[in-house]
Amino acid sequence: MDWWHDALELWTKAFGIEWTLVEWPHNAPDVPRFGWCNRDETWLLRLDDGRAIRFPNWDASEEVRCALAWTLRQLAHEQRFGGGRPVGQAYAGCRDMTFAELTAVVAGVDGRGEPRDWGPLAQKKFPGYLIAIEWTAKHANSERQVAEDADIARHVIEAMFGHGWTEFDANGPCLLVFLAEDDLAGIECDGDEPACAGDQSFVKLLAIAEQLAAAVRAEAFVDAKVWVSMPVVSPHMVFSALASLQLTARMGDRHNRTHGVFGEDPALYLLSVAGAAQWKVLQAMLTARAVQPLRDWPDGWRELTEAMIKANLNASEAARSLYVHRNTLLARIERLCEASGFDVRRGEDAIALYLAARFMPQQVAST
């Protein structure tokens, strides 16, 4: 049963009127949600983009219609935020944590695993995912602008997710959403494969995060980013999931990403927890066997290493991904081996060079 059904039934019984749920006419005026439209002497109350409530033979005053719209609008706000201040407050607390503190929460060794009252979130169907849509406000001091951007983001979410999502109150330019895995299965996205199973849910989450971030950027003209938490299997995992959500956002910000799903890139986490001292030791290890110093290694060695890793050490596949002839790639591999002492055709050497290649651009100590 829809969230508005009981309230509407009480209203219509009190006034002795009938109602039906219909599709919003394509040629009707573009009134806002919970706005009224008179079509063929019949009042329509808009529920969302695609649906409306039709009231045949109801000639109510404007005051009465406004009162009904106000009632449903307040119920929608309550349903949207799910009474979710505990969830939003917990996420705000995660934003104030250091990287190490977030790690401890996700690992379950922080001592904060006591049961909490998560309100209506505890009644949701699990497993599911927490999703954060964050953006840089165009006018930092304009609450109205933030609210308008948030409405645009909600419109985009509804267009992608339909009605199977719940928003929880989050302060500032951020929307915090819970999406059940059952509802995820019904979402269509670009390039989606039929009959998803196993890790296909993870692949789908990546595609959804990317498309959602791009759509919010395009519609609201804001620098939007989308992050997805670890799977929330039960209410006992909510706080860990919120920490994993912020951990994903923190790693994405450090590496200039616009979207990310927890678990997408474990190597990125290892690089994020390593600081300047660890980088110096890694650099010393790399140069211990090298004929030439790191700065004199052949140009493009990082791209070459990443291509070999992604191609499962298959030189032919790596050559295709780099748009070079296989013999050209093999010659570059030999030059890198001569300079560094590492052969990317060997698994252990490739992993060492890959970590160095990923770490070198940031060289940022964890906070």
Tell me the C-alpha distance between 15 and 143, whole Å.
38
Tell me the C-alpha distance between 143 and 173, whole Å.
9
Closest CA to 332 of 354, 349, 315: 315
- As for how many domains the chain has, the answer is 3
The 3-state secondary structure of 226-251, one letter per residue: EEECCCECCHHHHHHHHHHHHHHHHH
Structural domain including 334 reads 275-359
Q: Which tens digits make up the pLDDT trace of 167-176?
A: 887 777 889 9
**pLDDT for position 80:** 54
Same domain, 109 and 233: yes
Domain boundary among 80, 114, 132: 80
**pLDDT for position 39:** 84
**pLDDT for position 111:** 60
* Dihedral in degrees, nearest 10, Cα atoms 229, 230, 231, 236: -90
pLDDT band at 113 (very low <50, low <70, confident <90, very high): low
**Residue 225, amino acid:** K
pLDDT band at 285 (very low <50, low <70, confident <90, very high): confident
Mean pLDDT over all residues of the chain?
A: 84
* Dihedral in degrees, nearest 10, Cα atoms 226, 231, 237, 243: -30
Q: Identify any residues that bridge with 53 across adjacent strands, giving them in sequence order.
A: 21, 45
pLDDT band at 295 (very low <50, low <70, confident <90, very high): confident
Q: Within a domain: residue 34?
A: yes
Contact indicator for 97, 246 with CB cutoff of 8 Å:
yes
Contact indicator for 129, 231 with CB cutoff of 8 Å:
yes
pLDDT band at 195 (very low <50, low <70, confident <90, very high): very low
DSSP class of 284: H
Average pLDDT over residues 264-280: 79
List the alpha helices (DSSP H) in the chain.
5-15, 62-81, 85-95, 99-107, 143-161, 181-184, 200-220, 238-254, 266-273, 276-288, 301-310, 315-322, 326-340, 347-359
Same domain, 223 and 333: no
**pLDDT for position 367:** 37
Domain boundary among 249, 271, 293: 271
Contact indicator for 69, 34 with CB cutoff of 8 Å:
yes
Q: Which tens digits make up the pLDDT trace of 12-67?
A: 888 888 999 998 887 788 777 888 998 888 899 988 767 899 998 888 888 888 99
Q: Which tens digits make up the pLDDT trace of 118-170?
A: 877 877 888 999 999 999 866 545 667 788 888 899 999 988 888 778 888 77
Same domain, 32 and 112: no
Residue 362 pLDDT greater than 50, yes or no? no
Q: Within a domain: residue 366?
A: no
Tell me the C-alpha distance between 157 and 52, whole Å.
19
